[in-house]
Amino acid sequence: MTTSQQKPKLLLVDYENVPQVELALLEEGYRVVIFVGASQKNVPIELVTAAQQLGDRIEWRKVTGDGRNALDFFIAWHLGRVFERTPRPDCIVLSKDKGFDPLLKHLNAAGLKCRRVENIASL
């Protein structure tokens, strides 16, 4: 499969749940969306520097409300939009929160490839 034929790969990061994001371990071809909680105020310079290396393949999303699982709902909504707009992407949710698993199981049963990992080294 040539590069132009490869499925788009997307990593959605639950930064509230996994603040140690080792972007240097990420292989080429991934797009990354890092979701930051409304009350999170600091991001380590090491993560910012690593993120800059990805150029336009990374974006940051600040959640606009506090509440139990607020960030998780933003990730779930974004995931739905991705599957709506992108032909058969490979999606990965970086989170230690097992609460994503029923949704991901449902998506996979519908033929939409998505899984959860607890660290980038698991990719």
pLDDT at residue 101 in the model: 98
Instruction: Give CA–CA dist 72/8, Å, rounded.
Output: 22
Check if CATH label 3.30.1360 holds for domain 3-122.
Answer: no
pLDDT at residue 4 in the model: 47
Mean local confidence (pLDDT), 10-28: 94
Sign of CA dihedral 20, 65, 52, 86: positive
With 80 as the cut, is the pLDDT of residue 40 above it?
yes
Whole-prediction pTM:
0.91
**b/e map of 39-76 (b: 16 or more CB within 10 Å)?**
eeeeeeeebeebbeeeeebbeebebeeeeeebbbebbb
Q: How confident is the model at residue 5 (pLDDT cuts 50, 70, 90)?
A: low
Beta bridge partners of 62: 36
Sequence-distant contacts of 51-56: CB under 8 A, at least 24 apart = 51/23, 53/23, 53/24, 54/23, 54/26
Tokens of 69: 């699982």
pLDDT at residue 6 in the model: 74
Residue 72: closest CA among 1, 21, 18: 18
With 50 as the cut, is the pLDDT of residue 27 above it?
yes
Give the pLDDT confidence of 48-99 residue by residue, as tens digits: 999 999 999 999 999 998 888 899 999 999 999 999 998 889 999 999 999 9
